[in-house]
A and B are shown apart, each in its own frame.
Chain A
Amino acid sequence: MRYIDPHIHMVSRTTDDYEQMAAQGVVAVIEPAFWQGQPRTQIGTFQDYFSMLVGFERFRAAQFGIRHYCTMGLNSKEANNVPLAEEVMDLLPLFATKEGVVAIGEIGYDDQTEAEDKFFRLQIELAKEVGLPILVHTPHRDKKRGTYRSMDVLEEHGFSPEMAIIDHNNEETCKEVLDRGYWCGFTIYPKTKMGNERMVEVVRQYGSERVIIDSSADWGVSDSLAVPKTARLMLERGIPVDQIEAVCYRNAIAAYASSGQFQEDDWLNPSPIDQRTLFEGNSVLRGGQTPRIDEPAKEGLLIR
């Protein structure tokens, strides 16, 4: 089975991750622009980070046969540094229209401050201007209120739900998100977000329509194989294959298709120029190495 991890921060991951993801069937990833654990203090570090997402990281992924896309945005945490945030807003239009940028994101609320609200709204308008979907990060704390508020604000700005992916949902938030017509992302991330046994039950209860699974693996304790592992667990626990394909592959393509930057042909049937530019050579996978294929032990499937 082919998988897409539509939310993963590869700049924080090693080549081991890329090797294992490729070996387990991940063909494409979306890397949302986010904070990096340490708040930035200069506009230049934002510029170089954005450039890395569309430059070296895209190339690095290609060395493992994985197609890399990204979203561009000012994350809610760093929106609280208002003078710097203003500068980032000036920079964003330059990156938002680049090839392979599939959404504005991840944006939304963290502490749900006034500054976060201001820059969330400005970026909703930017997404409307450039015709891109929005990937919404929902807060860890006061999650339910923050999730509902995100949707209220999107609707206040006339942003259509089928163009928005609300991420990091759980059993408490997903019904409302689905009922209001949004794409509903679930992040399989140990300890703080969803575990994959819970995820199996969510799919059993709510089905696969507009449900998307991702890892959000980053610089914290997280699992870059969360999507393939969860797919295997769902299979083992009796979820129908077409539902697994929907939540681990097809729905991500449908959710980001309106960007015009995310098509299955990109990885199944790449253009000659893309093959030369993105899939040629192996400066990371040096001479003669082949990706390692690990058969994960059965108990290794669970993420709690």
Chain B
Amino acid sequence: MSAAPRDVLKSWLSSRLPEAAADWLNDRAAAITAGDRKALYLAFGLAVRKTGKAELSLSAEELAAAEQARPGWNASSWSIDQAARVFLVLHYPSTDADDFRKTLDQMFATGEVHELVALYQALPLFPHPELFVERAAEGIRSNIRAVFLAVAHNNPFPAEQFSDDQWNQMVLKALFIGVALDPIVGLDRRANAELARILLDYAHERWAAKRPVSPELWRCVGPATNAEGIADLRKVLDSELATDREAALLALSASSLPAAQTALTEENQSAVTDPAVRATRWRQLAASVSN
């Protein structure tokens, strides 16, 4: 049986923290396990003063342990104070689901920037995930970029829990505030016709304003679009920018519409049929446009 997330966190923390800080954390965790809500609030706020803010810099084995404890959990960008804070939260009793949600709600409502990032990143580790869907959607509405990213990037929670409407808002907002789509977990799997329509409208609006359109946008259009989208993708296939042409090729390759095949054939391109290869090339594309 694989370890629980809080045990995984404990091993990361104990191998990195000085003994006094680790002892403090374990002592606070014991108080929190007993259901002491005030102890949780205070320790959660104070944690950074005990741990500092170093990067966790997890090894490949440690990242694998996280994946095993909770599929999709990616703590590669976490810092040590974030791990400590989540470690503390995961000790609060969750048998009474309503009490657990209320306790967490108060922490979200009064959170400082770093605290909010730690909490939103930890959404996939909380028991009763269905109670936190609205909270995650609230994180997507945040005006604080780091908070938005804590939900949207490297976090399996949205793909697992969001409705199509919530999902579509997240993807559109990511484009709108200019952050990469590739780190959104489940991007290809959650493609849907409504999102494709929204993104086509958005691309047309950008074109009308003579503003650039992120090539990543087409990744969510290709698998789910209609004839209109295929016509737009044909235009993008003729773009002056190599990154646009690559995006259009990959997007058309993901479409099951005969028109997509026709477009590729007429432009002397052959489809990239393997979804895994497409995903790799999308990742490379995202990296090249963000630099």
Cα–Cα distance between A55 and B109 once the two chains are bound (Å): 10
Cross-chain contact of A97 among B46, B53, B79 (Cβ < 8 A) = B46
A176 within 8 A of partner (CB): no
Contact B110 A47 (CB under 8 A): yes
> Which residues, 262 to 293 on A, are CB-close (under 8 Å) to B?
271-274, 276-278, 280-281, 283, 287
How far apart sit A172 and B227, CA to CA, in the bound complex (Å)?
79
| A210 CB-CB contact with B under 8 Å | no
Contact B53 A273 (CB under 8 A): yes
- Taking the complex as formed, is A260 at the interface, i.e. its CB lies under 8 A from any CB of chain B? yes
B208 within 8 A of A: no
Contact with A along B111-133 (1 / 0, CB 8 A): 11111110000000000000000
**Cβ of A100 under 8 Å from chain B:** yes
In the complex, are the beta carbons of B45 and A97 less than 8 A apart?
yes
A99's partner among B41, B48, B177 (CB-CB below 8 A) is B48
B8-56 residues with Cβ-Cβ distance < 8 A to A are 41-42, 45-46, 48-49, 53-55
Smallest Cβ-Cβ distance to B43: which chain A residue? A97
**B145 CB–A CB distance under 8 Å:** yes
| Assembled-state Cα–Cα distance A93/B46 (Å) | 11
Beta-carbon contact of A58 and B112 below 8 Å: yes
Contact across chains for A278 and B146 when beta carbons are under 8 A apart = yes
> How far, in angstroms, from A31 to B89 measured CA to CA in the complex?
29
Q: Which of A84-111 contact B (CB under 8 A)?
A: 93-95, 97-100
Contacting pair A94 B145 (CB below 8 A): no
Q: Is B4 an interface residue (CB 8 A)?
A: no
Closest Cβ of chain A to B80, distance in Å, is 9
Total A-B Cβ pairs within 8 A: 72
- Taking a contact as CB atoms under 8 Å apart, the answer to whether A93 and B42 are in contact is yes
Q: Mark A46-70, 1 if CB is under 8 A from B, else 0.
A: 0100110011101100000000000
- A112 to B162: give the CA distance in the assembly, Å: 54
Residues of chain B with a CB closer than 8 A to A274's CB: 53
A59 CA to B142 CA, complexed, in Å: 11
> B47: nearest residue on chain A (CB-CB)?
A99
Chain A hits for B242, CB < 8 A? none
User: Is the contact region of chain A dominated by helix, strand, or loop, or is it mixed?
Assistant: helix
B178 sits at the interface (CB 8 A): yes
Interface footprint category on B: 20 to 34
Which residues of A have CB within 8 Å of B111?
Answer: 51, 54-55
On whether A281 and B114 interact (CB within 8 A), knowing A59-B145, A59-B146, A97-B42, the answer reads no
Chain B facing A: main interface SS? helix
Known contacts A97-B42, A281-B177: does B110 contact A59 (CB below 8 Å)?
no
Closest CB in chain A relative to B232 CB, distance in Å: 23
Residues A281 and B179 in contact, CB atoms below 8 Å apart: yes
Contact check, A59 vs B114: say whether CB atoms are below 8 A apart: no
B77 close to A (CB within 8 Å): yes
* Listed residue (A100, A271, A273, A276) with the most chain B CB atoms within 10 angstroms of its CB: A273
Q: Nearest CB to that of A277 among chain B residues?
A: B146
| B113 adjacent to A55 (CB under 8 Å) | yes
A59 with B49: CB separation less than 8 A:
no
Q: Are B113 and A54 in contact (CB under 8 A)?
A: yes
Asked if residues B146 and A276 are in contact (CB atoms below 8 Å), the reply is yes
Nearest chain-B residue to A62 (Cβ)? B113
A118-156: contact bitstring with B at CB < 8 Å (1 yes, 0 no)? 000000000000000000000000000000000000000
Residues of B within 8 A of A97 (CB): 42, 45-46
Whole-angstrom distance between the alpha carbons of A274 and B113 in the complex?
A: 10
Among A97, A99, A280: residue with most chain B CB under 10 A: A99
Instruction: Say how far A289's CB is from chain B's closest CB, in angstroms.
Output: 13
B144 at the interface (CB under 8 A from A): yes
Q: How far is the CB of B228 from chain A (nearest CB, A)?
A: 28
State A302–B45 Cα separation when bound (angstroms): 42
Structural contact, A277 and B113, CB atoms closer than 8 A: yes
| Cα A95 to Cα B77 with chains together (Å) | 26
Contact A54 B112 (CB under 8 A): yes
Judged by a CB distance under 8 angstroms, whether B273 is at the interface is no
CB neighbours (8 Å) of B178 from chain A are: 281, 287
The answer, yes or no, to whether B95 is at the interface (CB within 8 Å) is no
Selected contact of A59 from candidates B53, B109, B113, B179, CB within 8 Å: B113
Q: Which residues of B contact A281 (CB under 8 A)?
A: 145, 177-179
> Which A residues touch B268, using CB under 8 A?
none
User: What residues make up the interface of A, taking CB atoms closer than 8 Å to B?
Assistant: 47, 50-51, 54-56, 58-59, 93-95, 97-100, 260, 271-274, 276-278, 280-281, 283, 287
Having A281-B177, A283-B145, one finds 19 other A-B pairs with CB under 8 Å, namely: A54-B113, A55-B111, A59-B113, A95-B110, A97-B42, A97-B46, A98-B45, A98-B115, A99-B45, A99-B48, A271-B54, A273-B79, A273-B114, A276-B146, A278-B113, A278-B146, A280-B145, A280-B146, A281-B178
